Structure 1
Amino acid sequence: MIWLIASLIIVGVLAYGRVPLRRATLVLAGWLGLYSLAQGGNLVFLLWVVFDAIFIPLNVPAIRKRLFSSVVFKVMKQMLPPMSQTEREALEAGNTWWDAELFSGHPDWKILLDLPAPKLTAEELAFIDGPVETLCGMLDDWDITHNRRDLPVEVWDYIKQHKFCGMIIPKRYGGLEFSEYAHSEVVMKISSRSTTAAVTVMVPNSLGPAKLLLAYGAEQQKNHYLPRLAKGEEIPAFALTGPLAGSDAGAMPDTGVVCYGWFPSSSLGTSGKDKVLGIRLNWEKRYITLGPVATVLGLAFKLYDPEHLIGDQENIGITVALIPTDTAGVSIGRRHFPLDSAFQNGPNWGKDVFIPMDWIIGGKEQVGNGWKMLMQCLATGRAVSLPALSTGASKMVSRNSGAYARIRKQFNLPIGEFEGIEEPLSRIAGETYIIDAARKVTAAALDDGQKPSVISAIIKYELTERMRRVVNDGMDIQGGSGICMGPKNYLGRMYQVIPVSITVEGANILTRTMMIFGQGAVRCHPYIQREMEALGHDNLDRFDQVLFEHIGSVLHNLAAGFWLGLTGGRFVEVPGDQHTRRYFRQIARLSVGFALVADFALLTLGGSLKRKERISGRFADVLSNLYLCSCVLKNFQDQGSPEDDLPLLDWACQQTLHRAQQSLLAIFHALPMRIPAYLLRAVLFPGGKPYSPPADHLIHQTAALLLKNSPVRDSLTHGIYINYKPDDVTGRIEVAFQAVLAAAPVEAKIHAAQKQKKLPKGSIVDVLDAAISNSIISKKEAELIVAAEKARFAAIGVDDFSPEQLSNTGKI
C-alpha cells in the first residue's frame, strides 16, 4: 500500500509539473526498478510487461501513431459534427484573450494585470463634461416616450451637430475618433437619462455601416459616406433580421441575383441611364433600429450568380451592401412599437431593387464575405454599447434607489435599515460593481487591440441579465411609486424596456447556450481547434503531436485539480495583496476544474455536446463568472486598491465564485457515465462545496454604502448624469437625499428627547416648536427639518391624472 501511494504521488507530481513524456518515462522506470529490487516476484515481472507495453509505443512516434493516434483520429473524425460556413466564420471571428487563459486551467495573470487601465483623453473628457452633459439636460424621458414617442427635433439636431453618431469615425473623415472606453462612457451617461437617446446614439457606433466601412469599405466608399455619417447628414440602419431569420442567418430568405440592369448615369444627367453589372434584390426585414428614419441601409442578403457573370460559383453567400433608402423599389415601413419605447425601429423591404456592384461594402472583392464581416464587427460592437447601457441603468438605480431607501420611512425608520430591504440594496450595489468592472476592463482590452468574440458575448449576456436583476430589485424597493407611471417615475420606463437589451445583438438565451461555451469550447480551448484543423487536413502527424499535448494537459489538470481542491489553492502562486490573493487562488482553482470537466464532457459527448444546451449553458455560466471575478480584481487594482471598496470587492468575488461553483457542480448531474463523473467531482471538490454566497454581515455593509454620502457611493455611480434640480425626475431625489442627511443629527436630537419624555410623541414637524422652546434644537436646525420634510414629500410623490388625461393619451 505504501508503494502504491508513493507511486500515485510520483505520477501526480510528474503530471502537475508537466514533465515531458520521455523524462517522465525514465523517472517511472527508475521507480519501478527500485520497487523490483525491494520486492521481486511475479508481480514485478507483470508490472514491467505492462510498463513496456504502454511506454515503449508512446515514446516511439511511428508505433504510437499506428497503434493509438490513428485509431483516435478515425473516431474523432466520425464524431466531429458537420459545420456550416456561417458557423465556421462565427468561430473565426475576433480573437481570444483572457477567456483562453481561463480555459487553459493555468491562467497567466500577467496578461490580465499588465493591461493598461482605461483612461479618457482631455478631448474625450471635455466632450463628456460638455456636449454629453448638455444633451442629458435636454432629455425628458416622460415627454419623449409618452407624449412625442420620439426625440424632440432640437435633440436630434444637437446629436447631429455634435457628431454623437460619429464617435468611432476617424478625424480624417470628420469624426471624433474616440476610444472604445470613451464610446462606452458616453453611452453609459446618456443611458442613465434616457434609453431612447442612448439607443439612438449607440446604434450608429456599434454594428452599422460606419463600422463595416472602416473595416472593409473601399476608399471611395469611405470618402463618400463616413463624413456624411459623422455629421449626421446620413442616418444609418443595419438590416439583418427578418421574419424567417433571426439568429439563424443561414435561413435568410433575402436574395440578390447578379445581372445587368439600367442605372442612372451621372455622366448623362439625372434622366440618362447606363447598362451596368449589378444585383437585383428582394428582401423583407424587421426590428431594424433607426430604420424608419434611415437614409442609408446596410443590407445583408444571400447573393447568387446563376449566369456566372462574376465567377464560377453560383451560390456566393451572404453579402452586405449600402443602399440609399430613396432608391427605387425600397420601402420603409411604419414603426414597430417595442414595449412602449420611443426609439425609432421598424420594418423595411425591397422589391426588384437594382443596385450597381460597387454598392457592395468593399466592392466586388467582398461578395460572399458578409457573414464574416458581421461576425468580426460584432466581436467588438457587442462588447461596448449594451454593456454601457446596462452599466448606466445599474448606476442610476444604485444612486437613486439607495437614496430613496434612505428618504422613505416606515415605522419611523428609513426603509433601507430594514433587513428585508438590505438584501436587494446589497445586490444592487454588488451587481453594479461587477457590471462596471467588466465594462471597463473589456473596453480597455478593446483599446489595447483585442477583439475577444467570446468575451463580447459574455459581457453582453451577463451585464444585461445582471442589469435586469438590479432594475427588478429597484422596483421592489420603490414599491407603489415604481409602478405608477408619470413624469416623477424615474424607474418604470427602464423596467419596461429591459427585454429590449436582452433581445438585440443576439438573444440572451442563445448567447448563453450556444455562443459563450459553444464557440468558446473551440476558440478558447488550447487544443481543440488545432485538432480540428489537423482532422480537416487529414494530417495525422500534426494530430498526433497536438493530441499528446492535449493528453498531457488533461493529466496536469487532473493532478492540479486534486491538489488545489485538497489544499484550497493555498500554495498556488498568484498575484494580489493580503486581501485579494485568496480570490486569485480560487479563480485559479476553478479554472482548472472548468478545463478538466470541459474535456470530460467533450470526450464523453463528442459532437452531441453541440445540442446539449443545458450543459453548455452551465459551462457558459462558469466561464462567465470566472471572467467577471477576474475583472473585479483587475478593476480594484486599477483604482489603487481602495480600502473603502473592500465590502463591494468581497461581495462581488464571493457572489461570482459561488455561482461558478454551483454551475460547475450542476454539470456533473447532467453528464453521461455517471460514476466517472462523480469520481471527477470527488477529485475536484474533496472537501465539499468551498464557496458560499455573501454572508449577512457583508450584505449589511454593502447595503449601507448606498444610504449615506461617501466616496464609495460617488465612485460606484461615477459617470452617470446627476443634477440637483428639485423639479427634475432624479434631481428631486438627490435634493431630498442631501436634505435628509443634513437634518439627520437634528432628527436624532428630537427622537432622543421624545424617548426621555422631554418632548411629546408625534410627528417630528408637530413637535418642532416645543423643541425650539425647550432649547433642544435651534431655529436654524428646525429649518433643516422643515426643508428635509418638504424635500422628502416631493421625492416620494406619485403622479396622478384625470380620467380625461388617461383616456386621451397613449392611443395608437
Structure 2
Amino acid sequence: MFAKLLKTIKDARLLPQISDTERAALEAGTVWVDGEFFSGNPDFTSMLAEAYPKLPPEEQAFLDGPVEELWRMVDTWKIQETREVPADVWEFMRDKGFFGLIIPKEYGGFGMSTLGRAAVMMKTSGLGAVGSLVVIPNTLGAAELLMEYGTEAQKTEYLPRLASGEYVPCFGLTEPTAGSDAASIKAEGVVFKDDDGEVKIRLNFAKRYITLAPVANLVSVAAGIADPDNLLGKGEYPGISVVLVHKGTPGLELGDHHLPISAFDNGPIIGKDVVVSAENVIGGPGNVGEGWRMLMEQLSGGRAVSLPAGGIASCKLAAAAAGPYSMVRQQFNIPIGYMEGPEAKIAKIAAMAYAMESSRVYVCAGVDNGHQPPVASAILKQHTTEMGQRLVIDGLDVMAGAGVMQGPNNILGGAYIGAPVGVTVEGANILTRTLIIFGQGAVRCHPYALKTLRSLEDDDVPAFKSAVLGWMGSFAMNGLRTLVRGLTRGWSFRSPVKGPTARYYRKLGWASARFAFLTDLALFLVGAKLKQKGKLSGRFADALSWQLFAFTTLRRFEAEGRQAEDLPVVQWALEYSLKQIQDAFEGIYANFDAPVVGWLLRYPGRLLLRANTLSTGPSDKLDRPVANAIQVPGAQYDRIVDGLAMPDENQPGMGRLLKAWRLISEARPAQGKIMKAIKQGEITAREPAAALAEALEKGVVTAAEADTIRSAEAARMEAIQVDVFPKDEYYRNRQSGGDAVTMARAANA
C-alpha cells in the first residue's frame, strides 16, 4: 500500500521538488524554537529555559569605553555631507580592535559573542559610513568564512591582518542578474594549469552593490567554478566557490562608488581575467564547489545579527526621540504627547521597541549557544528592519516639522533615509517573507515534511510509511487541538506561568495549533504550487513571525523580573502581535485556493474565525500608560532605549532635546502649582511669563522654582528650533561644481 502511495505521490509531484541549491539552504542550520510552532503544541517551558543573558563584563566594557569614544569623535552630519570617514576615525578603530570583534583571540581578535557583536552594531548603526566599517568585517565575509572553513595556513595568514584592520574586506556576491536569487550568479572561474604547472583559476565577474568595495583591499568573490580538465578531481563543474582576491591583482577593478541614499562606501567590483592560485579558495582546493553551502550555513544564524541590530536601533531611536519630544513640544497649551493622536503613535513606538529588542537578545543568545536557526534569523531580518522603518516614520509624524528639516539637529532623518538599505540587502524583505520564512520553514521545521521528502527521494518505503503515519497522526491531533482550543479560547492549553501573562501563553498555544493545522492543509492541497503562491506563503510567514515575537516578548518580561510598570507595554505588544496573527489567518482563509476546503475556509470558516478572534488589537486604554513609558525620564525609559549611545546635553539634536525634557520634567511640579492657582483664581494673568511673575510675587512658587521654570522654557524653545543655513552654505554644491545628481549624469554621459 505505502509503496504504491509513494509512487503515486512522486508521479503526481504532490510535494515540492527540491533543487540542489534549495537542498543546501534547507539543510543549513538547525531547527530551534521555530519548530515548536510548527508542532502545534509548543513546549513553552523548554523555550523559556533558553538563555536570555546580559553581556559579559568585558563586552559591556567595550560598549561603555571604545564605542562611546567613537561616538564622541564622529561628526555624523559632516560624514553625511562629505561621504568620507576621517583618517583619525580609521586609526582609532584599528587601535581599539573594531575590525576583529568576530575573530578569536588566538588570532588577534576580540572573540566577541554574537549578542555582543549585535550590541556593538546596534550602538554604532547611527554613525552612517562608520557603522558599515563595523558591520562588514564582523559579519558574512572573509573573517567569518575563514574561521569556519579556512585552512590553518589561511587562518594564520589572514585573520590577524583582518583583526588589525590591515586588510579591509568586502564580499562580492550580488550581480546585475543575481540579487536575492544569489544561486544564479554569472561570475565564473575557470581552472587551468599555468606554464609552471601550478593549478590556478581565471576569474571573470561583474559585481555591484558591494559595501566597502571602494576602500577594500581584500575581496571575497563568489563565483561558479568550471574545471574542464577535472584538475581538481571534482568534475567539470564543481559549483559555487568563494575565492580571495587581493587589491592590485591584475584585472581587478576597485575604487568606483555607487551613491547609496545614506552615506557609506559601496560600489562595483569588476574582474577581467583575474588569475589567482587555487589555494585562494577559502578552505583550499578541496573546498571548491562548497561555496553555496558555506554561505547558507553562515546566513542561517548571521541574518539575526547586523541588519536586525540596525533595525532595532531605529526602533529605539524613535522611542528615545519621540517620547521626549512629545512632552517638550506644546500645542494648545498642552504637550502634544497628551493628545490621543500622537499618544497612539508613541504607544506603538514604545511597545514595539520593547518587543523587537526581546527578539534580538533571545535569538542572538540562541546562536551563541550553538543554534543556527535560518527561519528565526530570517524573521528577525525582515520584521526588525521593516519595524524600524515604520517606527521612525511614526516618530517623524510626532516630530512633524522638526523631522522634515535636515541638519545636525534632525534626530530621525538619517534613520529614515537609510531604512530602505536594511529592508533591501541580504535578501530583499519581499522575498524573505514570501519565499524563505515559510517556504523554508514548512519543509525544514515541520516535524514530518522533510522526512517524507527524503524518503520519497530515496524510495525508502519503511521510512516513508513511518513519516506518513506520523504526519497523519500529527494532522489529526492538531485538528482536534484547533477545535478544542478554539472552543475554550486557549484555556485548554496549559500555561507555564501564572499571573497576568498566562492567558497570552494559552492564546499562543491556540494559535500554534491552528497554524500547524493550516500548514498541513497547504502542504496537502496546494503542495508544489506553494513555491509560486507567494501571497499565501507570506501570510503563513506573518502568522509564524508574530508567534515568535509574542513569545520573545513574554520571555523578556520573565527574564527582567516581571517589572510591574512594564506590564502595559508587554500587553500592548502581545495584543498587537496576536492581531497580526489573526489578520494572517483571515488572509489565509480568504485566499486558500483548493476545492471544497477553500470554500469552507472562505465562507463558514472565516465567519467563525472572526467571531472567535485571538485579538482585536491593543485597547485604546493601554495607550496612555504605554506612551508614558517613554515620556517620563526614569528607569523604564532607560530600559526601552538601552543600547543606544546618548549624547551630552550640550550636543545638537538629541542632546538639546534630552536637556529640555529633563528640565521640563523637573519644572512640572512648580508648573502644577501655578496651574492650580490659576484655576482657583489666585493668579489672574494668563500669559506664561506674566503668570510666573505673579506666582512668584504671591509666593505660589519660590525663586528657585521660578528659575527652574525659566530654564525649562528656554531649553524648550531651543529644542524645537530647526537648522537654518546661510545662502552660501545652502548652495555649496553648486559653487563647488555641481550637485551629486548633475555630476552623476555628466559621468554617465
Q: Does 1:194 align with 2:115?
A: no
Q: Distance in 2 between matches of 1:763 and 1:200?
A: 52
Q: What residue in structure 2 maps to residue 159 of structure 1? A: 93
Q: Distance in 2 between matches of 1:446 and 1:252?
A: 29
> Once the 2 structures are TM-superposed, how far is the Cα of residue 493 of structure 1 from its aligned partner?
1.3
Q: What residue in structure 1 maps to residue 307 of structure 2? A: 386
* SS of the residue 1:767 aligns to: helix
Deviations 1:702-722 (A, max 9, x none): 112111123211111112111
Q: Distance in 2 between matches of 1:542 and 1:413?
A: 70
Q: What residue in structure 1 maps to residue 721 of structure 2? A: 797
Alignment of 1:707-726 (within 5 A): 707-726=631-650
Which of 430, 436, 445 is 1:509 aligned to? 430
Q: Distance in 2 between matches of 1:596 and 1:540?
A: 25
Contact map agreement 1:151 1:342 (CA 8 A) in 2: no
> Once the 2 structures are TM-superposed, how far is the Cα of residue 700 of structure 1 from its aligned partner?
1.7
Deviations 1:449-473 (A, max 9, x none): 1000111100000111111111000
Contact map agreement 2:586 2:609 (CA 8 A) in 1: no
Q: Distance in 2 between matches of 1:597 and 1:782?
A: 65
Q: What residue in structure 1 maps to residue 156 of structure 2? A: 223
Q: Does 1:540 align with 2:461?
A: yes
Q: Distance in 2 between matches of 1:377 and 1:522?
A: 19
Q: What residue in structure 1 maps to residue 367 of structure 2? A: 446
Deviations 1:650-676 (A, max 9, x none): 011111011111101210111123642
Deviations 1:125-164 (A, max 9, x none): 1111111111111122111101x21222211111111111
Which of 768, 778, 788 is 2:692 aligned to? 768
Alignment of 1:248-263 (within 5 A): 248-261=181-194
Which of 25, 37, 48 is 1:102 aligned to? 37
Q: Distance in 1 between matches of 2:164 and 2:534?
A: 45
Q: What residue in structure 2 maps to residue 123 of structure 1? A: 58
Contact map agreement 2:254 2:268 (CA 8 A) in 1: yes
Q: Distance in 1 between matches of 2:301 and 2:233?
A: 32
Structure 2 portions without partners, runs of 5+: 741-749
Q: Does 1:350 align with 2:271?
A: yes
Contact map agreement 2:313 2:388 (CA 8 A) in 1: no
> Once the 2 structures are TM-superposed, how far is the Cα of residue 685 of structure 1 from its aligned partner?
4.0
TM-score by length of 2: 0.95
Q: Does 1:332 align with 2:254?
A: yes
CA RMSD for the aligned pairs? 1.7
* SS of the residue 1:747 aligns to: helix
Q: What residue in structure 1 maps to residue 140 of structure 2? A: 207
Q: What residue in structure 1 maps to residue 474 of structure 2? A: 553
Q: Distance in 2 between matches of 1:130 and 1:449?
A: 28
Contact map agreement 2:507 2:614 (CA 8 A) in 1: no
Q: What residue in structure 1 maps to residue 746 of structure 2? A: none
Q: Does 1:309 align with 2:231?
A: yes
Q: Distance in 2 between matches of 1:81 and 1:565?
A: 31
Cα distance change on mapping 1:326 and 1:187 into 2, 3 Å: same
Q: Distance in 2 between matches of 1:525 and 1:230?
A: 40
Q: What residue in structure 2 maps to residue 46 of structure 1? A: none
TM-score by length of 1: 0.88
Which of 309, 334, 356 is 1:413 aligned to? 334
Contact map agreement 1:565 1:683 (CA 8 A) in 2: no
Deviations 1:176-200 (A, max 9, x none): 0011111111111122x42332222
Deviations 1:461-516 (A, max 9, x none): 01111111110000101101111001111111111111011011111000000000
Q: Distance in 1 between matches of 2:585 and 2:18?
A: 27
Q: Distance in 1 between matches of 2:528 and 2:292?
A: 24
> Once the 2 structures are TM-superposed, how far is the Cα of residue 683 of structure 1 from its aligned partner?
11
Contact map agreement 1:625 1:659 (CA 8 A) in 2: yes
* SS of the residue 2:632 aligns to: coil
Q: What residue in structure 1 maps to residue 208 of structure 2? A: 286
Contact map agreement 2:15 2:523 (CA 8 A) in 1: no
Cα distance change on mapping 1:809 and 1:487 into 2, 3 Å: farther
* SS of the residue 2:366 aligns to: helix
* SS of the residue 2:194 aligns to: strand
* SS of the residue 2:435 aligns to: helix
Contact map agreement 1:428 1:473 (CA 8 A) in 2: yes
Q: Distance in 2 between matches of 1:84 and 1:508?
A: 22
Structure 1 portions without partners, runs of 5+: 1-63, 263-273
> Once the 2 structures are TM-superposed, how far is the Cα of residue 362 of structure 1 from its aligned partner?
0.1
Alignment of 1:261-272 (within 5 A): 261=194
> Once the 2 structures are TM-superposed, how far is the Cα of residue 250 of structure 1 from its aligned partner?
3.2
Q: What residue in structure 1 maps to residue 68 of structure 2? A: 133
Q: Does 1:727 align with 2:651?
A: yes
Alignment of 1:547-586 (within 5 A): 547-586=468-507
Contact map agreement 1:240 1:300 (CA 8 A) in 2: yes
Contact map agreement 2:183 2:292 (CA 8 A) in 1: no
Q: Does 1:753 align with 2:677?
A: yes
Q: Distance in 1 between matches of 2:10 and 2:63?
A: 59
> Once the 2 structures are TM-superposed, how far is the Cα of residue 397 of structure 1 from its aligned partner?
1.5
Amino acid at match of 2:216: A
Contact map agreement 2:590 2:606 (CA 8 A) in 1: no
Q: What residue in structure 2 maps to residue 168 of structure 1? A: 102
> Once the 2 structures are TM-superposed, how far is the Cα of residue 678 of structure 1 from its aligned partner?
5.4
> Once the 2 structures are TM-superposed, how far is the Cα of residue 251 of structure 1 from its aligned partner?
2.4
* Range that drifts further, 797-806 or 420-429: 797-806
Contact map agreement 1:562 1:684 (CA 8 A) in 2: no
Contact map agreement 2:221 2:242 (CA 8 A) in 1: yes
Contact map agreement 1:73 1:540 (CA 8 A) in 2: no
Looking at CA atoms only, which structure, 1 or 2, has the larger radius of gyration? 1
Amino acid at match of 1:481: A
Contact map agreement 2:9 2:15 (CA 8 A) in 1: no
> Once the 2 structures are TM-superposed, how far is the Cα of residue 682 of structure 1 from its aligned partner?
6.9
Q: What residue in structure 2 maps to residue 741 of structure 1? A: 665
Q: Distance in 2 between matches of 1:168 and 1:397?
A: 29
Deviations 1:575-614 (A, max 9, x none): 0121111111111111010010011111111101110000
Contact map agreement 2:199 2:277 (CA 8 A) in 1: yes
> Once the 2 structures are TM-superposed, how far is the Cα of residue 75 of structure 1 from its aligned partner?
5.1
Q: Distance in 1 between matches of 2:209 and 2:70?
A: 26
Q: What residue in structure 2 maps to residue 319 of structure 1? A: 241
Contact map agreement 1:325 1:332 (CA 8 A) in 2: yes
Contact map agreement 1:647 1:701 (CA 8 A) in 2: yes
Contact map agreement 1:594 1:622 (CA 8 A) in 2: yes
Q: Does 1:398 align with 2:319?
A: yes
Q: Distance in 2 between matches of 1:567 and 1:75?
A: 42
Contact map agreement 2:486 2:612 (CA 8 A) in 1: no
Amino acid at match of 2:45: K
* Range that drifts further, 568-577 or 292-301: 568-577
Q: Distance in 1 between matches of 2:170 and 2:650?
A: 38
Q: Distance in 1 between matches of 2:239 and 2:651?
A: 56
Q: What residue in structure 2 maps to residue 688 of structure 1? A: 612
> Once the 2 structures are TM-superposed, how far is the Cα of residue 743 of structure 1 from its aligned partner?
0.8
Deviations 1:299-342 (A, max 9, x none): 00010011222226212211101111111111014111111x22
Contact map agreement 2:191 2:226 (CA 8 A) in 1: yes
Q: Distance in 1 between matches of 2:732 and 2:151?
A: 52
